[in-house]
Structures are given as structure tokens and as C-alpha cells.
Amino acid sequence: MSESSQIFVGLNAVILAVTDEEPRILTLRRGEHSVVVPADGSAEPPPAELMDGLPFGPLDPARDRTLELALRAWVREQTGIEVGYVEQLYTYGDRNRDPLERQGGPRILSIGYLSLCREDVVMGATQARWRPWYDYLPWEDWRDGRPQILDKQLEPALKAWIDVAEDRRAAQLRRDRVDIAFGLGGAPWDGYRVLDRYELLYEAGLVGEAMRDRGAPEATGEELPTRRLGRPMCFDHRRILATAVSRLRGKIKYRPVVFELLPPTFTLLQLQRVVEALAGQRLHKQNFRRLVEKGGLVEGTGKLSAGTGGRPAELFRFRHGVLRERPTPGVGLPSLPEH
């Protein structure tokens, strides 16, 4: 059986924690060699540019009984974390996603996962590092209003991409997609279309990864025609991250997953800040309180927090019973007001 008809499966994890009101993912700084560690111990190709990547490793079909167990094992080895909540995101399998494939290596499939935890569970003594996810997707953070990068860089670049379309029809298609994904031309901004936006930017050649994947060797995004749009990642890891953000923003609406990111007790403001961090937008405080309290998502503990400078707040905990009362317990987000 030739190399080219073999398949290797890599597992990738977006490991998320929210600390200091900032959603952070665990990244490894690494060279862009293959996902695959050859089983025969042969030398890996020398790493190219160092670049951020998600923790990942191959599925060992002989050892790993399930995909999730394989993922947990790899994360433990690479980062020292014993992950709790885990959710599968998507499986990517386009040819030549991995640079090694182009050199005649085996076909690579990568399965993306999302894991939620708290930063304090991380052991030391590891090369892993927490980094704000908005470093990679800066246009997704609307907490301080419309991100500048949108008007200053993205919009002009996307307009240019529309203009270089083959014909009028193709241009119109591009315009429609851009308008819907980025809330231009009168369309509203939709906080859930994170993946749409990243993929559009990739297709338009506006993120570093696109140029790299098209064959320019060793490109890191620095030398793009536009200034680089967000921090690039190796392989398709940024696409996986975008998938994770999309999925999570959608999921908090109908499942109480936020609590995986919080300590056992918390104030309502802490809870709100975490939701805002994920959603990338601010929420109305009083309404948020009503939502989670009347919605039965939380219950007071009677204890007060050592307030950080104001009236002390009551400490709440997640109310597990809500699961049997309501079909979809979560925190729905308002549609973003237009700016």
C-alpha cells in the first residue's frame, strides 16, 4: 500500500478558559512540521517559521479506544491539563491542508475539538501558553464598540476583492456574501457568523494562512499586501478556532455551558463578563440578571463576595435542576445594535 493511500488522523483541541474577562486559548509555539509524528521515529523535517498552533497529535488506532480518549491523552502530554468538558467540532480533510502532504506524505484528516476549563487548572512546566482568542480574530470583539480593524482594513480589502472579480455577476455574488458575513450594505452584524467571516477572509486571500497554502513557501503573513489581519496560526488551526467560537456563541443560547468556565460560586457580574467575553458584546446588566435569575439558571448561596469596590454582591451557583424544567436553558444574546 503506497503512502498516498494511507490516512493519518490528527486531533486538535481549542482549550478555552476565561480569565480577567478575556477568553484565552491554549497555544503551543511550534514549527510547521507535520501533524504526524512518524511511527518509525524517523527525523522530522526542520521546522519552518515558529507559529502558534493548537495542541494536537495523531490518533493512534492501536492504542486509543475512542477519539475523545485520544484527545485527552494528547492534551495531557502536551500541556499537563486534564480536560473536563469536551465537544467535537468538525472534521477537516481537504487535500494539502498539511504542507507535508504536498511532499508526498500521507493524507491528513484533522478532527477539531472544543474544551472548556479554568486557567488555574494548568500545570506549570510546559510550553503551552494562554493567548486571547481575539488576538487571532480581532474583528470579532465588539465589547468596546465596532472594532477599528473593520473600517480601517477589512472593509477596504474586501471591497478590493469584490472589484477584482471576473465579471459583474461574480462581483455581485461576492458583495452579497461580504455584506451578509460582515454586516455591510445595511445588513446587521451577526455575532454567530464567525466561521463564515474567517472563511471569506481566507478565500479572499486576506489572512496569512491563505497565501501560505497557495504555495508561497515560509510565508508568515507579515509580508501581505494588507497589514496582517489577526495573528496567524499553523495549518488550519485558525479555522478550527473560528469554528469553536461560532459553535460556542451558538451553544450558550440553549445549553448552560458557560458554567464550565466559572468557579463553583460566582457573582452575577462575573457570569455576565464571561458571557460578554464569549459573545464579544456588552449586555444590559439588569436584564441579564433577570434572565438568569428568573430563568432558574442560578440560585443565590446567601454569601456575599468580598466586593471589588462597590456594594458586595451575592454569590450564586449554577442551579442543576434547571435542566429538568426548561428544554433550552441558556443565555440568549440580543441582536447587536447597529453602530
Partner DNA sequence: AGACTTATGCTAAATCTGAGTATAAGTCAC
Partner DNA sequence: GTGACTTATACTCAGATTTAGCATAAGTCT
Which residues make up the interface to a copy of itself (CB under 8 A)?
1-2, 4-9, 39, 59-62, 64-67, 88, 90-91, 93-95, 106-107, 109, 111, 176, 179-180, 185-193, 254, 323-328, 335
Segment contacting DNA (CB under 7 A): 79-87, 115-123, 179-187, 283-291? 283-291
User: Residue 231, SS3?
Assistant: coil
- Among 87, 190, 196, 314, the residue binding DNA under the rule CB under 7 A is 314
Per CB under 7 A, does 145 bind DNA? no
- Residues 31-34: contacts with CB under 8 Å, at least 24 apart: 32/99, 32/234, 32/235, 33/100, 34/98, 34/99, 34/100, 34/105, 34/108
Please state, in angstroms and rounded to a whole number, the distance separating the CA atoms of residues 246 and 89: 10
Please state, in angstroms and rounded to a whole number, the distance separating the CA atoms of residues 155 and 108: 34
In the complex with DNA, the residue whose CB is nearer, 312 or 321, is 312
Shortest CB 126 distance to a copy of itself, Å: 27
Q: Which of residues 262-281 bind DNA (CB under 7 A)?
A: 267-269
In the complex with DNA, the residue whose CB is nearer, 65 or 324, is 324
- Strand ranges, E, within 253-325: 265-266, 298-304, 314-318
Name residues whose C-beta falls within 8 Å of residue 82's C-beta, 6 or more positions apart in sequence: 72, 76, 121
Shortest CB 155 distance to DNA, Å: 24
Residue 127: Cβ-neighbour burial (10 angstroms; 0-12, 13-18, 19+): exposed
95 binds, among DNA, a copy of itself, none (CB under 5 to 8 A by kind): a copy of itself
- Among 168, 311, 324, 339, the residue binding DNA under the rule CB under 7 A is 311
Please state, in angstroms and rounded to a whole number, the distance separating the CA atoms of residues 244 and 15: 10
223 binds, among a copy of itself, DNA, none (CB under 5 to 8 A by kind): none
Per CB under 7 A, does 310 bind DNA? yes
Cell readout for 339 is 453602530
**Cell 486576506 appears where?**
206
Looking at the DSSP bridge assignments, the partners of residue 287 are none
Per CB under 7 A, does 339 bind DNA? no
309 binds, among DNA, a copy of itself, none (CB under 5 to 8 A by kind): DNA
Per CB under 7 A, does 285 bind DNA? yes
**Cell 469553536 appears where?**
244
Segment contacting DNA (CB under 7 A): 28-36, 144-152, 174-182, 331-339? 331-339
Shortest CB 268 distance to DNA, Å: 5
Name residues whose C-beta falls within 8 Å of residue 210's C-beta, 6 or more positions apart in sequence: 201, 202, 203, 204
- Residue 180 near residue 192, CB atoms below 8 Å: no
Per CB under 7 A, does 334 bind DNA? yes
Helix orientation angle between 155-163 and 168-182, rounded to the nearest 10 degrees: 160
Shortest CB 269 distance to a copy of itself, Å: 27
Please state, as a whole number, how many other Cβ atoms lie within 10 Å of the Cβ of residue 169.
Answer: 9
Per CB under 7 A, does 190 bind DNA? no
Residues contributing to the site for DNA (CB under 7 A):
267-269, 284-287, 289-291, 307-314, 332, 334-335, 337
